[in-house]
Amino acid sequence: MPIDLPDEFESAFSVAEALRAGVPASRLRRVDLGRPFRGMRTAPNVGTSSLDPAPDLDPATDHAAKPKSAFELAREAVVERARHFAVIMLPHEFFSHVTAAILWDLWLPFALVRDHAALDVAVCAPARHPRRAGVAGHQTPRRFVHVVTHPTLGVRLASPASTWAQLASVIGDPYDLVAAGDAAVREPMFEGDPPALATPAQLARAIAEGRRAGITALRTALPRVRTRSASRPETRCRLLLVDAGLPEPRLNWSLVDAHGNTIACIDLAYPELKIAVEYEGQHHLRDSAQWTKDIARYELLAAHGWLVIRITKDALFSDPQSIVERVRAARALRAAR
């Protein structure tokens, strides 16, 4: 039977730390220990929760919690690998680029998160970028990056503004670069929302330090970043409408009654014409309680004279012109009244 590990090594730990604490080298070679990276180990059963087919329980109800989406599972896998690597990260190293964006939970395309096999680990020049299996090393001029400690994960990484600037060398879709910026500066709009990660001014300063990879894309994207977008699809829909020549809609606009009570918060709104554009994410269909709330909200909007245009993921990403045509037709109909 394997020797029990000391309590302080109940999760991820470096081989060097374990040896210094008196753990036998033979114990560290046992197959029950995980080896995410050379020079570190994970205790038995660490890192298997995302693969466990048994559903989590919602402590408030004792019922099975909502199943996590493929995106959530992919993101959690990257976060877990980053936390493991942080155990052996050198003092001058930090997470950057896509890895940092995932740790900050910026809005990224699913494929970019799903296929993120090598962690982005950077250093400031003149230090040499790391060379290690499972790591994509980067060297950056010190003036191009502000390194901070993540407030909840406790790992070193590029600040949200620096991370957004780095993404221009990775993200080719201009809409997705704006969406990542929107996520960074998103202001609290709903109960429980955290503070914004960055300000538009901080994004501007991050790209004002000189020419870097993707600088033209960053300069184009910055004026299009908004603080009231609530999701990547909302950002894409807004940009789609504006680029089609339509007026920019109001984002997460609150409809209030005569007493100042909020009736509904509309994803994208044209208040002057009482047109609401609502994005129907897949979670709306999987969550029966959310679906019931959506129906009641749409009926309430209709009762107040609003025309609701509901759009889906398939339409937004596969047939965007149909959305433009529907919104343009609705605007013409309402303007003619």
pLDDT tens for 122-132 read 999 999 988 88
pLDDT tens for 139-195 read 999 999 999 999 999 999 999 999 999 999 999 999 999 999 999 999 999 889 999
Query: Which pLDDT does position 48 carry in this prediction?
Result: 43
pLDDT band at 135 (very low <50, low <70, confident <90, very high): very high
Say which residue, 127 or 37, is predicted with more confidence. Answer: 127
> Among the three residues 208, 224, 240, which one is the final residue of a domain in this structure?
224
Query: Nearest Cα to 96, choosing from 130, 70, 47?
Result: 130
Q: Which tokens belong to 150?
A: 């993540």
Mode of pairing for the β-strands spanning 156-158 and 119-124? unpaired
**pTM higher than 0.75:** yes
Q: What is the CA radius of gyration of the chain?
A: 23
> Is 266 inside any structural domain?
yes
The arithmetic mean of pLDDT across residues 273-289, rounded, is 77
Beta strand segments in 53-173, E:
94-95, 119-124, 135-140, 147-149, 156-158
Quote the CA–CA distance of 213 and 307 in Å, as a whole number.
44
Quote the CA–CA distance of 48 and 292 in Å, as a whole number.
34
> Is 62 inside any structural domain?
no
Pair (331, 301) in one structural domain = yes
Q: Which long-range contacts (CB under 8 A, 24 or more apart) does 68-74 make?
A: 69/282, 69/283, 70/110, 70/114, 71/110, 71/113, 71/114, 74/110, 74/113, 74/114, 74/116
The arithmetic mean of pLDDT across residues 320-336, rounded, is 97
> Among the three residues 224, 249, 278, which one is the final residue of a domain in this structure?
224
Pair (219, 244) in one structural domain = no
Quote the CA–CA distance of 77 and 131 in Å, as a whole number.
22
CB contact at 8 A, 209 and 143: yes
Pair (238, 200) in one structural domain = no
pLDDT tens for 10-32 read 677 778 777 777 777 877 778 77
Residue 19 domain boundaries: 7-49
Which domain CATH number covers 302?
A: 3.40.960.10
> Among the three residues 183, 202, 224, which one is the final residue of a domain in this structure?
224
CB contact at 8 A, 36 and 42: yes
Query: Nearest Cα to 133, choosing from 112, 123, 119?
Result: 119
Pair (33, 157) in one structural domain = no
